[in-house]
């Protein structure tokens, strides 16, 4: 299965392959950026199918806390030592942390070399590996340093997902649900009705990537439509911050955030109670959390202004106005927001 992502700048367009890893054929030097966990589980498979002139394994430490400039420096250093040039390629082999860092390193090494994503988490397959947002965190916040740099291709292998822990798996479903709720009611109804066996899992990856590709094609640099994909994230970022990124996985925080956004939507008269409840039930069905104890709603509200997407003192809320459609609202009254935050006390 192949999905085309067509960009205005035609040379940047690329393909996303699902279960077609054997097509991976490269020229020149190839650096595989991965970590010990992913390498231990799946590197052998990758090495057995990868055709290229020379391979280098670049291992980085595992975890969001290592998604920083220091690790990018380490990657670059190995590229210099191994004399990579503009005809070389970097492969990101791991979850979203690896793809964000590898893409960024590829975009700045000698002003840009090719990179390919081979995502091994569900979250990275349905979301992070497609669309060309790359970057790292620093002490001022998440993803504040980075670039838009599209991969040359993406290879999703459903088999790699078999070793994912349950919570990581559910976190990926949260991002897929995000796309269904904001863009595709049919996909939402389908998700509501199915059990995720292998066949359905491949379909889920395919449907999510199709949606994400359509959105990126229309709005590569997030000037408008693509921002809809931040549904649930305005709330999630505050939750992640308040809990020091320790209590919830990103996708879990997004699930809670979507539930909060839906409460706001109900409050604004845009979504019915029944629709909000229906979404909540599907989140729960996939093992995702929907509640979070807000200690102080005023502090929670103030924290919205730390987000890099909050501009000119206006909070951008992505609100699903029904299932399969969402709008961006930046004029929600503070009192309405506080009211729904109190529901979570
Ligand atoms: N660029 C984008 O558009 C975009 C979109 C969404 C998220 N992101 C970023 O993605 C990151 C989150 O990605 P993630 O959820 O994949 O986290 P992650 O990369 O930290 O992976 C989660 C854990 O699973 C492990 N792992 C990876 N593959 C595995 C496998 N097949 N079996 C068992 N364990 C495996 C990883 O080593 C890690 O410990 C965040 O940094 C986020 O900012 C980027
Ligand atoms: Zn996300």
Question: Which pTM does this prediction carry?
Answer: 0.95
In this predicted structure, what is the pLDDT of residue 140? Answer: 84
What is the per-residue pLDDT across 142-174, written as a single tens digit (0 to 9) for each? 899 999 999 999 999 999 999 999 999 999 999
In this predicted structure, what is the pLDDT of residue 168? Answer: 97
**C-alpha distances in Å from residue 314, one per residue of 75, 161, 331:** 38, 39, 7
Q: Which of 192, 329, 207 is nearest to 271 (CA)?
A: 329
Q: Which of 304, 225, 292 is nearest to 255 (CA)?
A: 292
Q: Is the CB of residue 173 below 6 angstroms from any atom belonging to ligand 1? A: no
What is the per-residue pLDDT across 55-75, written as a single tens digit (0 to 9) for each? 999 999 999 999 999 999 999
In this predicted structure, what is the pLDDT of residue 312? Answer: 64
What is the per-residue pLDDT across 177-188, written as a single tens digit (0 to 9) for each? 999 999 999 999
CA of 283 to the centre of ligand 1 (A): 20
Ligand 1 site-directed mutation target among 41, 137, 168, most atoms within 8 Å of CB: 168
Looking at all shown ligands, the one closest to residue 68's CA atom is 1
294 three-class SS: coil
Q: Supply the residue whose CA is at minimum distance from atom 12 of ligand 1.
A: 96
Q: Which residues carry out catalysis?
A: 111, 133, 175, 212, 222, 226, 230, 233, 237, 250
Low-confidence ranges of the chain (pLDDT < 70): 308-312
Identify the helix (H) or strand (E) that includes residue 108.
helix 96-108
Q: Structure tokens of 43? A: 């590197």
Q: Structure tokens of 137? A: 């965190």
Q: Following DSSP, what letter does each residue of 57-102 receive, concatenated?
A: EEE---SGGG-SHHHHHHHHHHHHHTT--TT-EEEEEESHHHHHHH
**C-alpha distances in Å from residue 205, one per residue of 127, 142, 178, 220:** 9, 25, 13, 20
196 three-class SS: coil
What is the distance of C-alpha 134 from the center of its chain? 11
Q: Is the CB of residue 67 below 6 angstroms from any atom belonging to ligand 1? A: yes
CA of 230 to the centre of ligand 2 (A): 7
Q: Which of 104, 30, 39 is nearest to 71 (CA)?
A: 104
Q: Is the CB of residue 64 below 6 angstroms from any atom belonging to ligand 1? A: yes
Q: How far apart are CA 116 and CA 155, in angstroms?
A: 8
In this predicted structure, what is the pLDDT of residue 310? Answer: 67
Number of the ligand 1 atom closest to the C-alpha atom of 133: 1
Q: Is the CB of residue 208 below 6 angstroms from any atom belonging to ligand 1? A: no
CA of 111 to the centre of ligand 1 (A): 26
φ/ψ (deg, to 5) at 140: -85, -15
Q: Following DSSP, what letter does each residue of 2-52 receive, concatenated?
A: EEEE--SSGGG-EEEEES-GGG-B--SEEEEEE-HHHIIIIIHHHHHH-B-
Cβ pair 79, 105 in contact under 8 A: yes
CA of 55 to the centre of ligand 2 (A): 32
φ/ψ (deg, to 5) at 168: -60, -40
CA of 255 to the centre of ligand 1 (A): 16
Q: What is the largest CA-CA distance in the chain?
A: 62
Q: Supply the residue whose CA is at minimum distance from atom 16 of ligand 1.
A: 95
Q: Following DSSP, what letter does each residue of 239-281 receive, concatenated?
A: HHHHTTTTSS-HHHHHHHHHHHHHHHHHHTTSS-HHHHHHHHH
Cβ neighbours, 10 Å, residue 205: 25
Q: How far apart are CA 216 and CA 7, in angstroms?
A: 8
């Amino acid at each position: 299965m192949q999905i085309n992502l067509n960009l205005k700048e035609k040379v940047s367009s690329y393909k996303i392959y699902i279960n077609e890893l054997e097509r991976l054929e490269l020229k020149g030097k190839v650096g595989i950026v991965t970590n010990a966990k992913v390498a231990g589980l799946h590197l052998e498979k990758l090495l057995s199918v990868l055709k290229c002139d020379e391979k280098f394994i670049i291992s980085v430490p595992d975890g969001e806390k290592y998604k920083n400039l220091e690790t990018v420096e380490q990657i670059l250093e190995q590229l210099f030592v191994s004399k990579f040039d503009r005809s070389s390629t970097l492969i990101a082999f791991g979850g979203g942390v690896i793809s964000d860092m590898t893409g960024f390193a590829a975009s700045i090494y000698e002003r840009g070399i090719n990179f390919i994503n081979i995502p091994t988490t569900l979250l990275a397959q349905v979301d992070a590996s497609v669309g060309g947002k790359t970057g790292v965190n620093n002490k001022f916040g998440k993803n504040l340093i980075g670039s838009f740099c599209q991969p040359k291709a993406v290879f999703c292998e459903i088999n790699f997902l078999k070793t994912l822990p349950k919570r990581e798996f559910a976190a990926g479903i949260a991002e897929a649900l995000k796309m269904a709720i904001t863009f595709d009611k049919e996909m939402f109804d389908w998700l509501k009705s199915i059990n995720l066996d292998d066949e359905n899992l491949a379909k889920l990856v395919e449907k999510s990537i199709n949606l994400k590709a359509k959105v990126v094609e229309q709005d590569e640099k997030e000037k408008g439509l693509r921002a809809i994909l931040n549904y649930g994230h305005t709330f999630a970022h505050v939750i992640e911050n308040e809990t020091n990124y320790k209590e919830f996985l990103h996708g879990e925080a997004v699930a809670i955030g979507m539930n909060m956004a839906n409460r706001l939507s109900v409050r604004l008269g845009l979504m019915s109670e029944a629709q909000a409840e229906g979404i909540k039930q599907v989140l729960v069905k996939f093992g995702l959390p929907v509640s979070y104890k807000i200690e102080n709603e005023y502090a929670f509200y103030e924290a919205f202004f730390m987000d890099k997407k909050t501009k000119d003192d206006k909070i951008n809320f992505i609100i699903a106005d029904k299932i399969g459609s969402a709008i961006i609202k930046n004029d929600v009254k503070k009192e309405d927001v506080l009211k729904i935050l109190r529901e979570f006390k």
